[in-house]
Structure 1
Amino acid sequence: MAKAILTVGVKLASAQCHYEDFQSKISLLDWDIILFSPDLPESFYSETSEYLGKAAFNDHYSFKLKECTEHWRREIKHAVEAGKTVVVFLSPLEEVFVATGSNSYSGSGKNRSVTRVVDLHSNYQALPIKLSPVNVTGKNMKVINDLQGIIAPYWSVFGDLSEYKVILDKCDGVVCLATKTGDKPVGAIARTKLSTGALILLPDVDFMPDHFIEDVKGANGRFKKEWSKAAIKFAGQMVSAVVELDKAIHSSSEVTPEPVWASGKSYELRRERVLRADLLAAEQRVEEAQKHKEFVQDELKSAGALRGLTYEKGPALERAIIIALKLMGFEAEPYKDSSSEFDVVFTCPEGRLLGEAEGKDAKPINIEKLRQLSMNIHEDLQRDEVTEPAKPVLFGNGFRLTALPERPAQFTDKCISAAKTSSTALVSTSSLFEVSRYLSEREDKVFATACRLSLLRSTGVVEWPEFPDGCGQFASAEAELSVSESPD
């Protein structure tokens, strides 16, 4: 029966291999052999700054990296314990700074600064083994004599194609490959005492040289990229080599898989019962921690919903507007019945308002949406329970994909002129973000009331009240970075 082979971060031109990327949440227990590369995806580096000469990930990619690392560390450990063979190709060590989720503060008022606390993180933390890799490159290597029987068949095919990118200063496994000069470890095998599985660490191989992909002309005359014959041959050799490696690992194991009958309660030892109870309690704690993690993730997603005011459109923008209005003290919700549908109707002791929202990718908000809003006001007034017209408010997110400091005017001149004629308030949602962020971080009923009155009394573009004590959020400088070793 053919072995089920999974590759993670390693692509092979073979139908026998199933590919997943580093961000996958797939279980490794469904596979016999796993080929794994700890290379971090290029997308993780798309929004980075620099700190102490290394990349510093933003919060989004920091938490994503830590989540992926935790997943693979757990899955690789479980796979080896379940008797699987996991082959890791030792790519270069990548060290980056990631957010811890904590900030430290100093100063007050305009001089208040925020320090973002970060940790040093490496791609090798995805492996469930203690390693101290050091970035060094070279090609001259040798197989350790004691492990010739296991490694030699693989090495005879791929030794010349292998290049070490790291040496292993410290490693919990048994060294299987070393530099020819200096005997520095560049490959190792780590096994458990209770299973036939193994974690095999091998020098890196170039899985995607340029000649593995070629342009092939299709029936429609267009060229498409396909695997070359060289790539298919290479993949066939790799599959054969790792299957032989898997056989050699299992045949050399001194552990006999426990028969079903031997695991019965009549053979159970007292120490096993105690440890099994401890394990059950530990699993319950892990389950509770996982539930708490999922709760915090949901809360984190909700906490960032206000940012949608700066870049969203459609229903997502409408939801963010409603959150912002509630922070000001409005009762706000969308309205829909059999004949009418309004983005948001919001009320407060000072009055009643009706709003429409519009987001434009690379344009200002024009008069067209203002006409729709005017029709909605009349339609709303026709309802029996409404006795007077609502104050019309047009929420606009023009140039929504442009950074805030670079955005031109959010509304066209014609839209502003018409809004003044119809007593309509025009609100740029980017300015609403600044107001709502302030209110989300402190209770200020006086400021909230002033914001409500600004909406009710404004015609044309709304000018918000000034922030108390110069607390405008966009005026604050970018948070600095610091390592977590200095939490104070």
Structure 2
Amino acid sequence: MAKKKILAIGFSLPDENIGYSDFDSDISLLDWDIILFKPNINGYIYRRESMFEGKPCLSDNESFKLKAQTEHWRREIKTAVEHGKLVIVFMDELKLISIATGQKEYSGTGRNQKITRIVADYNNYRSIPIDFKLINSKGKEIKLSTKNTELISSYWNEFSGASSYKVIIEGGGIPCLVTKHGEKVVGTIARSKNSAGALVCLPDVDFYQDTFFNEEDEEDEWSSEGKQFAARFIKEIVSLDKSLRSTGELTPEPEWAKDSQYKLDQENTAYEKLLKIEEKLELIQIEKEAIVDEINDLERLRNLLFEKGKPLEYAILDALKTLGFEVSQFDNGESEFDAVFESKEGRLIGEAEGKDNKAVNIDKLRQLALNIHEDLERDEIDKPAKPVLFGNAYRLLPINERSEPFTTKCITAATTSSTALIFCPDLFEVAKYLKDKRDSRFATKCRKAILNSVGRVNFPEVPQKTKKMSEQVTDEIQI
């Protein structure tokens, strides 16, 4: 018998044969036989923008990402079960949050204008394609229900001690595990009517017990106890899959039974409705993809704050275009320039450098000087371009915690070579303003600041916006 392909989502196991995926993944579940799922959205909660009515409230961007990711898993889990897969959900705590709806309300005028961002309730179980109600409740006193014990009993005998319930389940399948007192449902089995697939909800398991890890062995973080636990766990999960499959296997429909003479009129009508819905979904998906591409392009500007290498170079090119430069990269096989940009004010050549935890040094200036000379040697170039060094120093630190981005030697050498030094977060500030508001006069000032600077470029101060960021913004739940 072929070995089962098992995938764990939201947690990992010390077994090289078990696949692993983060919650933030677009992986398809159809490539796997058994899927182990934890609806873990702690990363989103950690990145919350604010608190609203005691719940974490996500930004517009994070709200979109979470909704898209939740819809992905809901769709994938449903499809996997319909295609005969076993999906086991380990019922973690119900996490209540608020997400943006994309709608805003405005009241008042001018500086007294109040912006109300409309938000809605959301939780980590939206990714599960079951209509159930969950209530947070914690405990370890659990017993088998009066029905379906033959399917779950072997697993429960082995792992009841490592399990604990964190939610009470109302609806969502046939009960298989209940609390010892009160018989509240904490585990269910929902079987597909069209395949041998099943969606099983089980009490949470502590997969990260202290004894499962080696504190001193850096090469192997998992202890022998952790590996043994994982081996026993996988054995029981495979056994559970076998039990469910043996009692729910369906006979594949023969080709002759698919003939139109056997189809119901209502079936044909339903297929026609489905086709129309699919056409609408296709158009919506195309529209969604276009908006996602637009968002990705806009997000790229933020790479000026923390990136290095090619991602930083592309962000610099985008920013320079926003400032009104015509930009390109040059590579003729012999010479390669990170950025060539020009406007009516002049022509410039730039080099980009990102540093993880130190200032930008003199090294890149040598390369930049060489680029200027190689560029001037080209027949079509009459005079040397203005050299510009773009530096993203201490790139992983918050902006206000970074030290001087260029070393003293770098600043001295830049003065000698008439090189402009641009701190990438400074470029981000002016490009962000120009992205949000067309201001040709300000853009001209920024271009001139680069062309006329020797040493670090001091861009003109960003004009005060009519609507200040400090204005009051209120989050409300949409009713």
**TM bucket normalised to smaller:** 0.7 to 0.9
**TM-score of the two chains, using structure 1 as the length reference:** 0.84
Give the 3-state SS of the residue equivalent to 2:39 in structure 1: coil
CA contact (8 A) 2:111 2:466 kept: no
CA contact (8 A) 1:144 1:176 kept: yes
Give the 3-state SS of the residue equivalent to 2:148 in structure 1: helix
Could you say which residue in structure 1 is the equivalent of 2:125? 124
Could you say which residue in structure 1 is the equivalent of 2:382? 387
Q: Distance in 1 between matches of 2:129 and 2:167?
A: 18
Compared with structure 1, are the counterparts of its residues 471 and 144 closer, same or farther at alpha carbon in structure 2 (3 Å cutoff)? same
Q: Which amino acid aligns with 2:294?
A: E
CA contact (8 A) 2:116 2:476 kept: no
Q: Which amino acid aligns with 2:446?
A: C
CA contact (8 A) 1:6 1:35 kept: yes
Compared with structure 1, are the counterparts of its residues 180 and 299 closer, same or farther at alpha carbon in structure 2 (3 Å cutoff)? same
Deviation at 1:428, TM superposition (A): 2.0
Q: Distance in 1 between matches of 2:359 and 2:226?
A: 53
Give the 3-state SS of the residue equivalent to 1:344 in structure 2: strand
Could you say which residue in structure 1 is the equivalent of 2:182? 182
Q: Which amino acid aligns with 1:35?
A: L
Deviation at 1:436, TM superposition (A): 0.8
Give 5+ residue unaligned stretches, structure 1. none
Identify the match of residue 358 of structure 1 among 353, 356, 374: 353
Give the 3-state SS of the residue equivalent to 1:137 in structure 2: strand
Describe the superposition over 1:225-255 as per-residue Cα deviations: whole angstroms up to 9, x where unpaired: 44525753x4455445444544544455597
Q: Distance in 2 between matches of 1:16 and 1:345?
A: 49
Could you say which residue in structure 1 is the equivalent of 2:307? 312
Could you say which residue in structure 1 is the equivalent of 2:87? 86
Deviation at 1:435, TM superposition (A): 0.8
Q: Distance in 2 between matches of 1:443 and 1:318?
A: 23
Deviation at 1:111, TM superposition (A): 7.6
Q: Which moved more, 1:55-64 or 1:280-289?
A: 55-64
Give the 3-state SS of the residue equivalent to 1:465 in structure 2: coil
Describe the superposition over 1:177-227 as per-residue Cα deviations: whole angstroms up to 9, x where unpaired: 32232232212222344334322222223334333445798xxxx863445
Deviation at 1:118, TM superposition (A): 4.3
Compared with structure 1, are the counterparts of its residues 229 and 101 closer, same or farther at alpha carbon in structure 2 (3 Å cutoff)? same
Corresponding position: 1:228 with 2:224: yes
Q: Distance in 1 between matches of 2:32 and 2:331?
A: 51
Give 5+ residue unaligned stretches, structure 2. none
Q: Which moved more, 1:299-308 or 1:47-56?
A: 47-56
For residues 8-23 of structure 1, the aligned pairs below 5 Å read 8-9=8-9, 11-12=12-13, 17-23=18-24
Describe the superposition over 1:291-337 as per-residue Cα deviations: whole angstroms up to 9, x where unpaired: 33333322212101211222223332222222222212221212232
Compared with structure 1, are the counterparts of its residues 79 and 354 closer, same or farther at alpha carbon in structure 2 (3 Å cutoff)? closer
CA contact (8 A) 1:12 1:235 kept: yes
For residues 217-366 of structure 1, the aligned pairs below 5 Å read 224-228=220-224, 231-232=227-228, 234-235=229-230, 237-250=232-245, 252-253=247-248, 258-366=253-361
Could you say which residue in structure 2 is the equivalent of 1:202? 202
For residues 37-116 of structure 1, the aligned pairs below 5 Å read 37-40=38-41, 43-44=43-44, 47-52=47-52, 53-57=54-58, 62-100=63-101
Describe the superposition over 1:414-469 as per-residue Cα deviations: whole angstroms up to 9, x where unpaired: 4434434443333222211111111111111111122222222333332323333x
CA contact (8 A) 1:11 1:19 kept: yes
Could you say which residue in structure 2 is the equivalent of 1:440? 435
Corresponding position: 1:34 with 2:73: no
RMSD value, Cα: 3.5
Q: Distance in 2 between matches of 1:46 and 1:109?
A: 34
Give the 3-state SS of the residue equivalent to 2:478 in structure 1: coil
Compared with structure 1, are the counterparts of its residues 239 and 326 closer, same or farther at alpha carbon in structure 2 (3 Å cutoff)? closer
CA contact (8 A) 1:4 1:16 kept: no
Give the 3-state SS of the residue equivalent to 1:287 in structure 2: helix
Could you say which residue in structure 2 is the equivalent of 1:451? 446
Q: Which moved more, 1:6-15 or 1:301-310?
A: 6-15
Compared with structure 1, are the counterparts of its residues 12 and 340 closer, same or farther at alpha carbon in structure 2 (3 Å cutoff)? closer
Q: Distance in 1 between matches of 2:412 and 2:458?
A: 16
Q: Which amino acid aligns with 1:290?
A: Q
Could you say which residue in structure 1 is the equivalent of 2:478? 485
Corresponding position: 1:134 with 2:132: no
Give the 3-state SS of the residue equivalent to 2:429 in structure 1: helix
Deviation at 1:378, TM superposition (A): 3.2
Q: Distance in 1 between matches of 2:234 and 2:387?
A: 67
Q: Distance in 1 between matches of 2:471 and 2:307?
A: 23
CA contact (8 A) 1:34 1:87 kept: yes
For residues 149-160 of structure 1, the aligned pairs below 5 Å read 149-160=150-161
Give the 3-state SS of the residue equivalent to 1:301 in structure 2: helix
CA contact (8 A) 1:110 1:471 kept: no
Identity %: 47
Deviation at 1:11, TM superposition (A): 4.5
Identify the match of residue 463 of structure 1 among 434, 458, 467: 458
Describe the superposition over 1:112-136 as per-residue Cα deviations: whole angstroms up to 9, x where unpaired: 8876654433221111001221111
Q: Which amino acid aligns with 2:224?
A: S
Deviation at 1:403, TM superposition (A): 1.6
Q: Distance in 2 between matches of 1:35 and 1:467?
A: 51
Deviation at 1:273, TM superposition (A): 1.8
The aligned length equals 477
Give the 3-state SS of the residue equivalent to 2:220 in structure 1: strand
CA contact (8 A) 2:97 2:121 kept: yes
Q: Which amino acid aligns with 1:203?
A: P
CA contact (8 A) 1:214 1:226 kept: yes
**TM-score of the two chains, using structure 2 as the length reference:** 0.85
Q: Distance in 2 between matches of 1:183 and 1:143?
A: 10
Describe the superposition over 1:351-378 as per-residue Cα deviations: whole angstroms up to 9, x where unpaired: 2223233333333334443344334333
Q: Distance in 2 between matches of 1:152 and 1:422?
A: 78
For residues 403-422 of structure 1, the aligned pairs below 5 Å read 403-422=398-417
CA contact (8 A) 1:7 1:34 kept: yes
Q: Distance in 2 between matches of 1:414 and 1:161?
A: 60
CA contact (8 A) 1:105 1:113 kept: yes
Q: Distance in 2 between matches of 1:458 and 1:444?
A: 21
Compared with structure 1, are the counterparts of its residues 50 and 258 closer, same or farther at alpha carbon in structure 2 (3 Å cutoff)? same
Corresponding position: 1:369 with 2:351: no
Describe the superposition over 1:35-55 as per-residue Cα deviations: whole angstroms up to 9, x where unpaired: 333234x55555345513334
Q: Which moved more, 1:112-121 or 1:89-98?
A: 112-121
